[in-house]
Amino acid sequence: MLKTKLGFTYPLGNSVHAEGVNFAVYAPNASEVTLCLFEGPVASELAQIKMNKREGGLWTLFVESAREGTLYGYRADGDYDLAEGLFFNKNKLLLDPYCKDIQGEFTWSERHYCHLPVGEFNVNDNAIDMPKSRVFRPKPYSGNRPNTAWQDTFIYECHVKGATQTLEAIAANKRGTFLGLCEYSFITHLQQLGVTAIELLPVQAFISEQFLTTKGLQNYWGYNTLSFFVPHKAYCVHGDITEFQQMVATLHAHNIEVIIDVVYNHTAESGIDGPMLSMRGLHNRGYYRMLQAPESVFINDTGCGNTINIDDPITLRLVIDSLRYWVQYMGVDGFRFDLATILGRSNEGFNGQHAFFQALSQDPVLTQVKLIAEPWDVGPGGYQLGAFPPPWREWNDKYRDVVRRFWRGDSGTLPELAKRIHGSNDLFEHNLRGPLNSINFLTSHDGFSLSDWVSYEHKHNDANGESNCDGHSENYSFNCGIEGHTDDPDVISKRRKLQINALVTLFMSKGVPMICAGTELNHSQNGNNNAYCQDNETSWLDWKNVNETQDLINPISSLMKIRSQLSTFKHPFFVHAEDARFAVLWYNKCGQIMSDMDWHDEGNKTLIYVLADLIESSSVLVILHADDTETEIQLPDPPFSSCWEAVYSSEENFEVGQFPSSLALTGQSAWILLSHNEETTDGSEKV
């Protein structure tokens, strides 16, 4: 006979004590909540114990014989009322929204569904197909954090599995896991590039949608969350979630931060005909946004079936508690919020002063980490680039698009390109933010890889099983004359040069640079620009593709080194004419300051600019020549020396050299030149 008592209302979830385990769950409209205990390798149900209803919709129970490792779940009984959004069904085992660990696999079956009334068609028990919540006592993270300033940050967006799945330098059992990411060979690779932070695609426990599994596919990216607290167990070598902490600690020891991509906009429970897995069976109308006319309909601002109701205090608390847990216990340094507009939207629309933003801004833990928004979703008023409050950073797709268009050869792009290179002050300065609030990128997990951007004019997503109807149709891409793979050396050379051109633009722009993993390996997805379900060689990085004539490891490394030496990219504010230290100057091909006529010349495809530090007496001259014809330009007078020193070019046969007055540009090329005092005040040579 299990000995139990009333229990405590705080904290939610399970908490381990010397004499047993406390369980607390929020289910305000339930008539009864039952704690179900399981044991053994096949998780046989050991007991069902009614919980105690407490003030404020909480249910508690203290089980004296329970210990760490105990497996459990909840069953909630109550009304089934479609019009009111109530789906209570005691036949459905529910995952604890606050559990920190799970055990067992999720299996799709009709037993999970709850959109029919309880009766003949909805009495099947789903426990056999559900993972079980596991009592786990986490230990706070104790490693030293790099605390890299935004001005020094270079982000590498990668997938836990895809990054190392084929890396033979790593033991086979560690490839594609958290531990694989902290192996010496991978860390050395990141350091060679100059990376200071990895941004991991979702690492919170997720499942694949049934429409994918029926086609033999999987949700590879992971944007289908099952638990906001549990690391994805498939990324653990031994099923031990502390491996995530080990990964973070090892990366931190090498001065690499860990940012995780989080999905607080929807869950794997999907829409009205989705499965009942956790929150839906406990407090459906509180956790999810719904309409009621004449029956409840899930608001779908995500395109995934449901939308988290961040307006509800208990949902807001869940999200904040989850974020704090990943910082304090898992050791992460920041978050990239998927479809972040949803977290600032109430019934009246997006609000930069939403309670979610206020809760973050006053939290002593979360104010110390990096916060990055994907500032759009598919809901009303969903595009909110530039509207997030300080200190948020935002993925800048306007930067991505204009750089792609410029190097594709589109006319009339110079004014827009200059804004983005300057840090997008038109987007961020209005609310006292600076250029470092812009996350600049050329490609991400979503869309073409950089290699495919110059190899495909059209998406090729047939392998996704959606008749090539998924994914964006406008990618501002081009194929250099041949669609897809080719052995033509001229086309291969041209594609590599154009990728380097885009990378020169990225690293010579104000803002925080980010690249997608595989950019440096010339990774191709064979034209698939929506490889979310391709858990195979399409998405996995091909480490055998390391070849100096094709990969971009050395160009990226060189560009990051140049960038890191220039103070102009560390300046946190936008530069205007009255700035006493920094200057931004734009020139035409005659070496003169750009006129209005120059800016509005739609045929002009050459952008020349100087970024100068007047105190350090150093400046960088960047030349971006997207025209495919050779052009000789006059260089502006070097401000701090007798001539400009060319230190980098996408030109294949480029050699470092000095250019006093003019430069012959080859077609579609990018150049970086420096001017600085030959000696510092202490007499040492200037780098």
Segment holding 337, helix H or strand E: strand 334-337
Catalytic annotation on 374? Answer: yes
CA angle 97–101–103, rounded 5-degree value? 105
How many Å apart are CA 142 and CA 603, to the nearest integer?
A: 57
Residue in the structure block whose two tokens are 């890396």? 167
**Chain center to CA of 18:** 40
Residue in the structure block whose two tokens are 């999200």? 319
Considering 257, 269, 338, 394, which one is annotated as catalytic? 338
How many Å apart are CA 5 and CA 87, to the nearest integer?
A: 28
Residue in the structure block whose two tokens are 């498939």? 234
How many Å apart are CA 520 and CA 432, to the nearest integer?
A: 34
The residues, ordered by sequence, that sit 6+ positions from 333 with a Cβ below 8 Å of its Cβ are: 145, 146, 147, 148, 197, 257, 258, 259, 327, 369, 370
Which residues, in sequence order, are bridge partners of residue 264?
Answer: none
The residues, ordered by sequence, that sit 6+ positions from 149 with a Cβ below 8 Å of its Cβ are: none
How many Å apart are CA 398 and CA 385, to the nearest integer?
A: 9
How many CB atoms lie under 10 A from the CB of residue 73?
Answer: 25
How many Å apart are CA 654 and CA 100, to the nearest integer?
A: 54
**According to DSSP H, which parts of 569-670 are helical?**
596-599
Instruction: Identify how many contiguous H helices and E strands the chain contains and give both numbers.
Output: 15, 32
Residue in the structure block whose two tokens are 């719904």? 290
Structure tokens at 360: 């973050």
Segment holding 162, helix H or strand E: helix 160-164
Q: Are 157 and 512 in contact (CB under 8 A)?
A: no
Catalytic annotation on 338? Answer: yes
Long-range CB contacts for residues 603-608, cutoff 8 Å, separation at least 24: 603/411, 604/414, 605/406, 605/409, 605/411, 605/413, 605/414, 606/631, 606/633, 606/665, 607/406, 607/414, 607/417, 607/418, 607/421, 608/633, 608/636
Q: What are the CA-CA distances from residue 667 to residues 155, 300, 456, 591 (Å)?
A: 30, 47, 21, 19
Backbone φ/ψ region at 623: left (φ over 0), alpha (ψ -120 to 50), beta: beta
How many CB atoms lie under 10 A from the CB of residue 619?
Answer: 25
Considering 243, 374, 394, 535, which one is annotated as catalytic? 374
Give the sign of the dihedral formed by CA 153, CA 398, CA 459, CA 235.
positive
The residues, ordered by sequence, that sit 6+ positions from 163 with a Cβ below 8 Å of its Cβ are: 176, 180, 181, 186, 517, 541
> E strands, 100-252, where?
102-103, 132-134, 155-158, 197-200
How many Å apart are CA 498 and CA 626, to the nearest integer?
A: 9
Structure tokens at 460: 């090729």
Structure tokens at 556: 């990226």
Could you list the active site residues?
A: 338, 374
